[in-house]
Amino acid sequence: MTLPTRQIGPFTVSAIGLGCMNLSHAYGVPPGEAEGIALLNRALDLGCTFLDTAALYGQGNNERLLGKAVMHRRSAFTLASKCVLDMIDGKRALDGSPAAIARTLDAALQRLGTDHIDLYYLHRLDRGVPIEESIGALVRAKEAGKIGALGVSEMSAATIRRAHAVHRLAAVQTEYSPWVRNAEIAVLDACRDLGIGFVAFSPVARGFLAGAVRSADYAAGDIRALMPRFVEPALSRNLALAARFDAVAAELGCTPAQLSLGWVLSRGDDVVPIPGTGNIAHLEENLAAATMSFDAGALVTVDAIFAEGAVAGNRYPPAMQAQIDTETYADEIAP
């Protein structure tokens, strides 16, 4: 099968990609290896040609899963992964030094079972290392043939411009959905000024706009239990917004997840959402949104539901927010 395509730097990819994190961690117990392998291959069968992973996910196990599951189909997809955030001695570590980037990349290539990653991101900004030095490490990796293009994740417009001045960026990845709009402050404009593609992670709001959250009864290991928007006192207010959003989807005859993805796709042809899931039925539902049309008036209604100030709670708790460089709104915790 084929899906509509969009351009991210030098890569032509399916209009909706697949964020692979869910297959290894973050939202409770992940699916088993066999289920993960089946889902990844089903994604390729359905025409999804953009797979996104990272060294951090599952302490490297997500990259191992991709290596085992789909590397025999390497020509069928664009592979993206990330460095700087990693697990060292069982603990999450942030290290943007050139030496750490080189180590993470070499380990990633081994785990993935390949000698080349198409798109390699700095996962977060290490404020203790000049961005120029971190980008320089990626430039050397590109010159060595280990990566094809450079990207950055959750960085501000100012940092993006500094990075791009060292070497052209192919992509910027940032959380973006109807209820997370920080990229609209400055990042989207910077990407368009510089000709950089935009990759939207969590485009269905970590499942909140897919009907997956109706209470704070999260499984052990679910990171949403730590996020202010997903727990009380903010949760009840946000569930009222979700009910209004679900009603718009019902009127259109689509699922809430499809409406959220349709909204993200409508923000520009340079925007590629990468929803994640551990469920094949949800995968099929998500990818179907790439072929659907969404009423312009309904998308305006979605804008109104999630107008600035409507959503209660910050994106991240303070410790996680400290690693986010993307601009914040006035009522959010700033880095």
Task: Pick the closest to residue 118 from 158, 60, 66 (CA basis).
Answer: 66
Cis peptide before 233 (omega within 30 of 0): yes
**Domains of the chain in sequence order:** 5-210+264-294 (3.20.20.100)
| pLDDT reported for residue 143 | 98
HEC secondary structure over the chain: CCCCEEEECCEEEECCCEECHHHCCCECCCCCHHHHHHHHHHHHHCCCCEEECCCCHHHHHHHHHHHHHCHHHHHHCEEEEEECEEEECCEEEECCCHHHHHHHHHHHHHHHCCCCEEEEEECCCCCCCCHHHHHHHHHHHHHCCCEEEEEEECCCHHHHHHHHHHCCCCEEEEECECCECHHHCCHHHHHHHHCCEEEEECCCCCCHHHCCCCCCCCCCCEHHHHCHHHCCCHHHHHHHHHHHHHHHHHHHCCCHHHHHHHHHHHCCCCEEEECECCCHHHHHHHHHHHHCCCCHHHHHHHHHHCCCCCCCCCCCCHHHHCCCCCCCCCCCCCC
270, 192 Cβ separation under 8 angstroms = yes
283, 158 Cβ separation under 8 angstroms = no
| pLDDT reported for residue 246 | 98
| pLDDT reported for residue 334 | 59
204, 306 Cβ separation under 8 angstroms = no
Task: Pick the closest to residue 53 from 83, 9, 21 (CA basis).
Answer: 21
Q: Report residue 166 CA to chain centroid gap.
A: 24
Q: Residue 299 corresponds to which tokens in the numbers above? A: 């998308």
| pLDDT reported for residue 71 | 98
Determine the Cα–Cα distance for residues 252 and 262; give it in Å rounded to an integer.
12
Residues 6+ apart with CB under 8 A from 144: none
Main-chain dihedrals φ then ψ at residue 295, nearest 5 degrees: -60, 130
Only one residue has tokens 């992964």, namely: 81
Residues that are catalytic: 57
pLDDT in tens, the chain (335 residues): 789 999 999 999 999 999 999 999 899 899 999 999 999 999 999 999 999 999 999 999 999 999 999 999 999 999 999 999 998 878 889 999 999 999 999 999 999 999 999 999 999 999 999 999 999 999 999 999 999 999 999 999 999 999 999 999 999 999 999 999 999 999 999 999 999 999 999 999 999 999 999 999 999 999 999 999 999 999 999 999 999 999 999 999 999 999 999 999 999 999 999 999 999 999 999 999 999 999 999 999 999 999 999 999 999 999 899 999 999 998 887 55
